Amino acid sequence: MTPLHILVTVGSDHHPFNRLIRWMDAWVSAQEPGTVSCVSQYGTADPPLEGRGEPFLPHDELERLMTEADVVVTQGGPMGLLEARRCGTRPIAVPRLAHLGEVVDDHQVAFCRHLAKLGTIVIAEESATLSTALAAAVRDHQSYTVEPTAAVRHVQESVARFGELVASLPPRPALVPWRR
């Protein structure tokens, strides 16, 4: 049996995303040996305990790994989702959360929920949901494969909607210059 190839990427944000890496470690360690191959690009998070880990990957290598992966698990940023779709994968997205110090605000939550409603991604907001999505991928990883040309149209629509959501946010207060 050929192992299921999984790529995990936390993106390039400077905030650590240990939650995603730990969830993946727990899931991978529970699998039968030889059934899963996992590469994690973990950024500033702690290195993964399971599979191969790289803090950062050159873009061309990340793109190659996305293209070769049966499943891509990524943080919920627009570029990671766009890249995964462009490489022919319907990604499993775990949105970063502000209250855990993973990002400055919860924009990824709203964006991922919107894309999940469109069927563009699979969203996993809890460890159990991620485990369910990964178990489904083990049974039928073809359901996580998309035609890259169809993916671009959906992503463009989603990015446009994301722009609308960002435009509707209240303005940030002006910074007051520091005075002596």
CATH number at residue 155: 3.40.50.2000
In a domain, 137, yes or no: yes
In a domain, 8, yes or no: yes
- Neighbouring CB atoms inside 10 A of 130's CB total 22
In a domain, 180, yes or no: no
Output the pLDDT for position 142.
Answer: 84
Q: Which of 14-18, 80-84, 120-124 has the lowest mean pLDDT?
A: 80-84
Burial 85-108 (b: 16+ CB within 10 A, else e): bbbbbbbbbbbbbeeeebbeeebb
In a domain, 72, yes or no: yes
Residue 35 token pair: 């059934």
> Rounded to whole angstroms, how far apart are CA atoms 98 and 104?
5
Output the pLDDT for position 167.
Answer: 83
pLDDT band at 176 (very low <50, low <70, confident <90, very high): low
**What average pLDDT score do residues 46-64 get?**
96
Domain span at residue 53? 4-167
Question: CA of 135: how far to CAs of 107, 115, 128, 131, 176, in Å?
Answer: 27, 21, 10, 6, 51
Output the pLDDT for position 47.
Answer: 98
Share of the chain above pLDDT 90, in %: 72
Q: What are the tens digits of pLDDT across the range 74-92?
A: 999 999 999 999 899 999 9
In a domain, 58, yes or no: yes
**What average pLDDT score do residues 27-40 get?**
96
Number of domains observed in the structure of the chain? 1
Output the pLDDT for position 169.
Answer: 83
Task: Tell me the pTM.
Answer: 0.82
In a domain, 178, yes or no: no
In a domain, 65, yes or no: yes
Is it the case that residue 40 has pLDDT exceeding 90? yes
**What average pLDDT score do residues 127-150 get?**
86
> Rounded to whole angstroms, how far apart are CA atoms 15 and 44?
7
Of 47, 61, 34, give the one whose Cα is nearest residue 138: 34
In a domain, 101, yes or no: yes
Is it the case that residue 150 has pLDDT exceeding 80? no
